A and B are shown apart, each in its own frame.
Chain A
Amino acid sequence: MTDTSAVSVSDRPADVAARLRKKRYAADRRLRAYGIGAITVAVGLLGILIATLVLGGYQAFTQTHVRVTFPISTQNVDADDLRGSNWRAVVTEGVENLFPGQSEEVRGLGARILTNNTQFFVRDAVIANPSLVGETLVLEVPASDPYDQLNKGVLDRDLPENRRRLTDEQIAAYDIVEEQGLVSRPFNWALFFNADSRFPEIAGLSGAIVGSFYALMICFVISFPVGIAAAIYLEEFAPRNRYTDIIEVNINNLAAVPSIVFGLLGLAVFLQIFGLPRSAPLVGGMVLSLMTLPTIIIVTRNALKSVPPSIREAALGMGASKHQVIMHHVLPLALPGILTGTIIGLAQALGETAPLLLIGMNSFITSPPGGVMEASTALPTQIFIWADSPERGFVARTSAAILVLLGFLITMNAIAIFLRQRLERTW
């Protein structure tokens, strides 16, 4: 046989080959560039997202306070009826102390520097310590939102007066207070320990955090045992037939059902048929558990699958029943994987918003819930509420609340990764 085809790469003139090669390499470089470009876009967008949140939110972690000296005079305050006393007058006298020797007009403007709820802060301080009656009370009072913004430099003094939220006189009044060294900006503990409020300067996340905690507890208590039991059955006991096939397909599809549909289910079944209370973390947790269940079943099955069959055979060979094999050997070995998956599932549930909106966990509630049946918000719904609020101060607080939520999520995922690395073994 002779070589009939003369076509071969080595037969080609060098310049032709080089030209073609150049073209092909250009195409290769182009694809690589597209890839790098795509990754840059994705990573860059994440960067922009986080930068926006951090830049927008970091200032909400501090809060401008004004040190005010309130004379608790007996003519305003009745030691026997502290709740019914004239606290408004006490606050007015405190404001007078802020502006020694200033006109009535300035004092009137200056009263706005303090938060609207100042009288309640003073009242609560005196109720906590009744011996103050007749003495003076020195209190760090949160500054109201526009002045807080002014102090943080968010509100630009150099703008023309008609384009900023404070007039020149108001700023002048604030400057009088600041010159006395009464203004401070400590860490904003209220963000974590106060519940929601109409006033951004005293609004906090405690109600949302407690609500989310309750809902997650309910979600865990339901979905963890049920998910593991279902996974054990499907993986270890169930015969392979049409019915278990249906269950399996069903679980996979349930994991991909839009979350809002679960909200509709919760609304129609838990609220409408069972008459459970609206806005309750109990209902929120139940809805979230239905959503988390497929995740937990899927990760548990994978964890069970990764336990080698030789262990099962060894135990069965010793005369253990199938239940004993699973309870004594397979489940303990699979547990790290199950826990990791469960934590990741719960982290997803923590960020879930839409179903909670439908069962009313987006109400305006000013105290943390006392139990799972009481109305409450959750962290993501609180973010939604604040994002919808018109006050400027809530913009920063929304970002801060998001950072808090992301902090919880990162912590949970870090725990999951830690567990996986410490406990999981490879066979």
Chain B
Amino acid sequence: MSTTLSARGATDMSGTSAPSTTQAPAHQTVRVPMVDANLPRLKAKDVSVFYGDKQALYDVSIDVPEKAVTSFIGPSGCGKSTFLRCINRMNDTIESCRVLGDITLDDQNLYDSSLDVVELRARIGMVFQKPNPFPKSIFENVAYGPKIHGLARSKTDLEEIVESSLKKAGLFNEVKDRLHSPGTGLSGGQQQRLCIARAIAVGPEVILMDEPCSALDPIATAIIEELIDELRENYTIVIVTHSMQQAARVSQKTAFFHLGKLIEEGPTEGIFTNPRDKKTQDYITGRIG
């Protein structure tokens, strides 16, 4: 499938599904294959997080299936973003933050002292809530990761990486004529896709997305959602979202967080159609939030 086609397809889709909330689950059942075929490589066991004396996360254990989209949902302040930031150790940058428990990737503990955090973050990329391109050209934004990690042996190498990353992010055709103009000049949706291209340029295994569409309009959201669906062929994706419809649309596995605890997890279909926990049901039906 070519990138142009996919982008167009996404636009078409947005006309029907994105603004509508009731159709979303039906949409999801059509497109999503079963999850359990994919073996988990990323596992979390009894993860607790403290900010100073305040505990933000309580004993979270979850397996993330490979080459599939896992979504974390829950009301704001429930700890879903905190947990996401544990996975590539972005919480290290917060001084008062302490993480207990194990998170493993291929049975290697991410919090092991022998593990290199710089390399870890190249293997587990991240896309943020607000598009945050660097104040550099589009090319330089994507080339940043390969450059610092020494992935390109020559200038042509680098150009190839940038082009293929932009293509994978479905952005190449829109920007190929202005690769050297500033990345901040793009529209919000384009900026977010630039950030995704930037993340995949270093060839990560896992991509973490922290509410990647919350700052975007419905059309841009639909394009990104389509892109996420495509990317799961090659990458393991974890997405935090406050929109249940989005979780239903893009993910194969869903985890529901509430007040720092993981309440329920399982195939997306199951969570939305037949939640086992009452809190999950209350949240999905809109009684808490």
Question: Which residues of A does B touch, CB under 8 Å?
Answer: 1, 3-11, 17, 20-21, 24-25
* Chain A: CB-nearest residue to B119: A9
Whether B148 sits at the interface, judged by CB under 8 Å, is yes
Q: Which residues of A contact B119 (CB under 8 A)?
A: 9, 17, 21
Query: A5, B202: Cβ atoms under 8 Å?
Result: no
* Chain A: CB-nearest residue to B235: A3
* Chain A: CB-nearest residue to B157: A7
Q: Which residues of B contact A20 (CB under 8 A)?
A: 149-150
Query: A8, B204: Cβ atoms under 8 Å?
Result: yes
The size class of the interface chain B forms with chain A is 20 to 34
Whether B160 sits at the interface, judged by CB under 8 Å, is yes
In-complex Cβ contact of A1 among B146, B148, B233 (8 A): B233
Query: A10, B149: Cβ atoms under 8 Å?
Result: no
Q: Which residues of B contact A21 (CB under 8 A)?
A: 116, 118-119
Q: Which residues of B contact A11 (CB under 8 A)?
A: 203
Closest 9 CB pairs of A and B: A8-B203, A9-B122, A7-B151, A20-B150, A5-B164, A3-B234, A10-B123, A7-B203, A9-B149
Q: Which residues of B contact A6 (CB under 8 A)?
A: 203
A344 to B119, CA, bound (A): 49
Interchain nearest-CB distance for A2 vs B (Å): 8
Q: Which residues of A contact B116 (CB under 8 A)?
A: 21
* Chain A: CB-nearest residue to B233: A1
In-complex Cβ contact of A24 among B148, B152, B165 (8 A): B148
8 residue pairs bridging A and B, Cβ less than 8 Å apart: A5-B161, A9-B119, A9-B122, A9-B123, A10-B123, A11-B203, A21-B118, A24-B148
**Known contacts being A1-B230, A17-B119, A21-B118, is A9 close to B203, with CB within 8 Å?**
yes
Q: Which residues of B contact A7 (CB under 8 A)?
A: 146, 151-152, 157, 161, 202-203
Identify the interface centre among A8, A11, A20, A21: most chain B CB within 10 Å of its CB: A8
Interface set, chain B 112-168, CB cutoff 8 A to A: 116, 118-119, 122-123, 146, 148-152, 157, 160-161, 164-165, 168
| Interface residues as binary, B198-216 with A (CB distance below 8 Å gives 1, 0 otherwise) | 0000111100000000000
A6 to B149, CA, bound (A): 14
* Chain A: CB-nearest residue to B150: A20
A5 to B166, CA, bound (A): 12
A302 to B19, CA, bound (A): 45
Q: Which residues of A contact B230 (CB under 8 A)?
A: 1
| Beyond known contacts A1-B233, A5-B164, A25-B118: 14 more, CB 8 A cutoff | A1-B230, A1-B234, A5-B165, A7-B151, A7-B202, A8-B202, A8-B203, A8-B205, A9-B123, A9-B151, A9-B202, A10-B123, A17-B119, A21-B116
Whether B94 sits at the interface, judged by CB under 8 Å, is no
Whether B30 sits at the interface, judged by CB under 8 Å, is no
Q: Which residues of B contact A25 (CB under 8 A)?
A: 118
Query: A1, B202: Cβ atoms under 8 Å?
Result: no
Whether B1 sits at the interface, judged by CB under 8 Å, is yes
* Chain B: CB-nearest residue to A28: B118
Q: Which residues of A contact B157 (CB under 8 A)?
A: 7
**Known contacts being A10-B123, A20-B149, is A5 close to B203, with CB within 8 Å?**
yes
A24 to B168, CA, bound (A): 28
Q: Which residues of A contact B202 (CB under 8 A)?
A: 7-9
Interface set, chain B 177-218, CB cutoff 8 A to A: 202-205
* Chain B: CB-nearest residue to A7: B151
Q: Which residues of A contact B203 (CB under 8 A)?
A: 5-11
* Chain A: CB-nearest residue to B2: A1
Q: Which residues of B contact A1 (CB under 8 A)?
A: 1, 168, 230, 233-234
Interchain nearest-CB distance for B260 vs A (Å): 28
Interchain nearest-CB distance for B42 vs A (Å): 13
**Known contacts being A10-B203, A24-B118, A24-B148, is A5 close to B234, with CB within 8 Å?**
no
Identify the interface centre among A1, A5, A10, A11: most chain B CB within 10 Å of its CB: A5
Q: Which residues of B contact A5 (CB under 8 A)?
A: 160-161, 164-165, 203
A25 to B118, CA, bound (A): 9
Interface set, chain B 6-36, CB cutoff 8 A to A: none
